[in-house]
Amino acid sequence: MKDQRKRGPKPPAAVGKTGHEWDGIEELNTPLPRWWLWLFYATIVWAIGYWVVYPAWPLVATYTHGVFNWHARSAVETALASLRTKRRPMMRRLGAASLQEIASTPELLDFARALGGRAFADNCAPCHGAGGGGARDYPNLTDDDWLWGGKLAQIQQTITHGVRSDDPKGHQGDMPAWGSTLKPVQISTVADYVRSLSGLSVEPGADLAAGKKIFAANCSPCHGPEGKGNQQIGSKNLTDDIWLYGSDKQTLVQTITNGSDDVMPAWGQKLDPVTIKALAVYVWSLGGGEK
Ligand code: HEC
Ligand code: HEC
C-alpha cells in the first residue's frame, strides 16, 4: 500500500498542525487571515458602540434608549416636519388662491393635483376607486356626468359638506321608495319607460305610454319632465345611460321600489381647507370638470 501522505500538496511549513490524524489525514491549524480577523473584531466593537448609542436591548418594561435617544416615530415626525416646511410656501399660495386661480396657474395646478391625488388615495379611493372611476353605488368622478355639479365650487361644496351626511349644509334629497305608493305592475311599467329614456331595449309588450304617464305624475317633479335630472336635488339624469345602481330591469325595479339614500361623507371636519381645495381641483381635473 502506498503512503497516502505523499499525495496532494504539501502544507506550508508555517502552518501548524492540531495533532489530530485520521487514517493518515492530518488536521492543519491554518490561522485565519489577518484582515478577516481584524474585520471580525471591528464588527464586535461596532456592535457594542451601536448598543450604546441606539436603542438596543429589551428590558423588563422598557428598553435601552441609547445615548442618541433615536426613535423611529420621532424620526418620521422630523421627516414630516421638514416636508411641511418645504411645502409651506406652496401651501400658503394654495390657501390664498381662488379655485379658478389654481386651475389657471400651471404651477399651482400641478401642486394641487399632486397633493389632491395623495389625499384622494388615502380618503376617497376606498369608495370611488383608485383613479376615481367609481363602482356600483359610487359615482364615477372622471366622466362629465354630475349628480351635484361639476364646477370647481360645486365639487368643493360636495366634498366639504357631503351628501345626506351628518352635515346640515350637505346636499339633501332622496330617491323615495315607491314600493308602498305604486303597484308592482306600475313599477315594472315605469322601469321599462326609464330604460327607453336611455335608448335601452324594453320588454316586448311594454306599455311605454302608460309608463310615461306614471313618470309624469310621480317622477318628473324631481327628475324633470324629460328625465334629465336636477343637480339642485341630485336627482339622476335618467337619459344618459350612466347608472349609479344599474340599468337592467331587475335593478331598476329594485331601485324604484326601495329608493336610495347613499351617503357621501362630509370632509369639512376631517380635512383642512387647503387639502379640500386640492381635492376639488384634483377631482375636477380627472376629466369631467366643468368651466
Ligand atoms: C363612504 C364612501 C365614500 C367616500 C369615502 C367618499 N365618497 Fe364621494 N361619494 C360617495 C357617494 C355614495 C356619492 C354619491 C352620493 C349621491 O348619491 O348623490 C359620492 C359623491 C361624490 C361626489 C359628487 C359626484 C357627482 O356626480 O356630483 C364627489 C365630487 C365626491 N363624492 C368626491 C369625493 C372625495 C373627493 C372623497 C374623498 C375626500 C370622497 N368622495 C369620499 C361615497 C363616498
Ligand atoms: C323626491 C325626488 C325624487 C322623485 C320624486 C323620484 N326620484 Fe328617482 N332619484 C332621486 C334622487 C335624488 C336620485 C339619486 C339617488 C342617489 O344618488 O342615490 C334618484 C335616482 C333614481 C334612479 C337611479 C338611477 C341610477 O343611476 O341607478 C332611478 C332609476 C330613479 N331615480 C327613478 C325614479 C322613478 C322611476 C321615479 C318615479 C316613480 C323617481 N325616480 C322619482 C330623486 C327622486
Instruction: Report whether 103 contacts 281 (CB < 8 A).
Output: yes
Mutate to test the pocket of ligand 2, among 127, 141, 175 (most ligand atoms within 8 A of CB): 175
Atom 2 in ligand 1: which residue has the minimum CA distance?
127
Question: Which three cell numbers mark 10?
Answer: 504539501
Instruction: Report whether 193 contacts 208 (CB < 8 A).
Output: yes
Lowest mean pLDDT among 3-17, 155-169, 253-267: 3-17
251 vs 200: CA distance, rounded Å: 14
State the burial class of residue 181 (Cβ atoms within 10 Å of its Cβ: 0-12, 13-18, 19+).
exposed
* Residue closest to 84 by CA, chosen among 75, 96, 95, 92: 92
Which amino acid type is present at position 16?
G
Atom 36 in ligand 2: which residue has the minimum CA distance?
219
Task: Identify the pLDDT of residue 3.
Answer: 53
Measured from the CA of 147, which atom of ligand 2 is nearest?
A: 17
Say how many residues make up the chain.
Answer: 291
pLDDT at 11 over 60: no
Cα dihedral across residues 37, 41, 43, 44: positive or negative: positive
Query: Is the shortest distance between the CB of 102 and ligand 2 below 6 Å?
Result: no
Instruction: Specify the residue for cell string 406652496.
Output: 90
Task: Identify the pLDDT of residue 261.
Answer: 83
38-50 pLDDT per residue, tens: 999 999 999 999 9
pLDDT at 6 over 70: no
Mutate to test the pocket of ligand 1, among 99, 120, 128 (most ligand atoms within 8 A of CB): 128
102-130 pLDDT per residue, tens: 999 999 999 999 999 999 999 999 999 99
241-289 pLDDT per residue, tens: 999 999 999 999 999 999 988 899 999 999 999 999 999 999 999 988 8
Query: Is the shortest distance between the CB of 109 and ligand 2 below 6 Å?
Result: no
Task: Identify the pLDDT of residue 17.
Answer: 86
Mutate to test the pocket of ligand 2, among 236, 252, 264 (most ligand atoms within 8 A of CB): 236
Instruction: Report whether 139 contacts 133 (CB < 8 A).
Output: no
Cα–Cα distances in Å, from 213 out to 82, 184, 208, 276?
65, 15, 9, 43
Average pLDDT over every residue of 218-238:
93
